[in-house]
């Protein structure tokens, strides 16, 4: 199969170990990672560069937004000098309306941002990460793929037990020093004296997202929404491959063998 033309969806519970698998797929098949986290950062960044004193809420009406042309007209004067794409700024404003207030982002906004980034990336040679996360997003993705003539070649599910994820995540500690950010684990990669960054000496912290309550909420969300989203893709005929998130020996080579052994029968190569 041609390098760089595949599209692969990688999914799994938060903390299941997706990133090492994504790295293997990207390196082996010449793919780029398209992750919703980065997409949101990019579009929010575009808006923030040109927002001036504008409040996103000002453009919100009922359960939607005023027409795009109106938002664009407000943002466009600042876009030219800043070198920001006005369409990206419009999408960023809509996302900011929800993200800034810590509110749940509705599917139609997530879909619009994803579609824009997917098209900008040429619609091929991508590892999709963090998308689709709901059945509606899956339906949207299937439609977008048809519309753009893109294939969806494979869903890779990184499978991991809830308890293994909880144990691994609550032991994680990070260095709060912005210039450092080293990651530790109380059991597997302990900080000095159980508390201090081995690189810069700062006292390490538990990320606010890594509390047991938040982890369990994310696990529940995965079961309630992301799993049905994947079933929707599989139901549309996209092959699914499952790989274990925990390996007896965790090394780059072991991850590579585990992933490629599973996907080669489907993708060839
Ligand atoms: Zn540090």
Domains of the chain from N-terminus onward: 1-31+127-171+206-264 (3.40.50.300), 35-124 (no CATH), 180-205 (no CATH)
CA of residue 176 to ligand 1 center, whole Å: 7
Q: What is the mean pLDDT of the chain?
A: 94
Count the helix, strand and coil residues of the chain and give each as a percent rounded to the nearest 5: 50, 15, 35
Q: Which residues of the chain have pLDDT under 70?
A: 1-3, 269
CA 187 / ligand 1 centre spacing (Å): 18
pLDDT tens digits, one per residue of 142-196: 999 999 999 999 999 999 999 999 998 999 999 999 999 999 999 889 999 999 9
pLDDT of residue 5: 85
Q: How far apart are the CA of 186 and the centre of ligand 1, in A?
A: 15
What whole-number distance in Å separates Cα of residue 63 and Cα of residue 47?
A: 21
pLDDT of residue 249: 85
Q: Which two tokens stand for residue 189?
A: 């990669």
Distance 178 CA to ligand 1 centre (A): 8
Sorted by sequence, the CB contacts under 8 Å of residue 64 that are 6+ apart come out as none
Residue 195 C-alpha to ligand 1 middle, in angstroms? 11
179 Cα to the center of ligand 1, angstroms: 8
**Residue 191 Cα to chain centre, angstroms:** 28
pLDDT value for 102: 87
CA–centroid distance, 174 to ligand 1, in Å, is: 8
Amino acid 174: pLDDT = 96
């Amino acid at each position: 199969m041609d390098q760089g033309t595949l599209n692969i969806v990688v999914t799994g519970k938060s903390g299941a170990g997706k990133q090492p698998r994504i790295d293997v797929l990207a390196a082996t098949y010449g793919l780029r990672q398209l992750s919703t986290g980065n997409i949101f950062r990019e579009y929010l960044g575009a808006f923030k560069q040109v927002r001036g004193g504008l409040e996103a809420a000002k453009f919100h009406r009922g359960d939607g937004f005023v027409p795009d042309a109106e938002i664009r007209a407000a943002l466009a004067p600042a876009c030219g000098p800043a070198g920001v794409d006005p369409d990206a700024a419009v999408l960023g404003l809509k996302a900011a309306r929800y993200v800034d207030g810590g509110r749940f982002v509705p599917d139609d906004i997530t879909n619009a941002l994803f579609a824009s980034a997917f098209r900008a990336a040429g619609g091929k040679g991508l590892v999709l990460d963090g998308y689709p996360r709901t059945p509606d997003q899956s339906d949207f993705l299937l439609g977008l793929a048809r519309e753009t003539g893109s294939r969806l070649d494979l869903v890779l599910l990184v499978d991991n037990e809830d308890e293994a994820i909880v144990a691994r995540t609550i032991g994680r500690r990070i260095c709060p020093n912005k210039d450092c950010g080293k990651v530790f684990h109380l059991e597997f990669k302990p900080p000095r004296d159980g508390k201090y960054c081995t690189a810069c000496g700062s006292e390490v912290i538990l990320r606010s997202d890594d509390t047991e309550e938040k982890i369990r909420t994310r696990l529940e969300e995965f079961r309630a929404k992301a799993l049905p989203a994947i079933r929707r893709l599989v139901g549309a005929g996209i092959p699914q491959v499952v790989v274990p998130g925990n390996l007896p020996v965790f090394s780059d080579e072991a991850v590579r063998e585990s992933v490629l052994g599973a996907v080669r029968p489907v993708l060839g190569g």
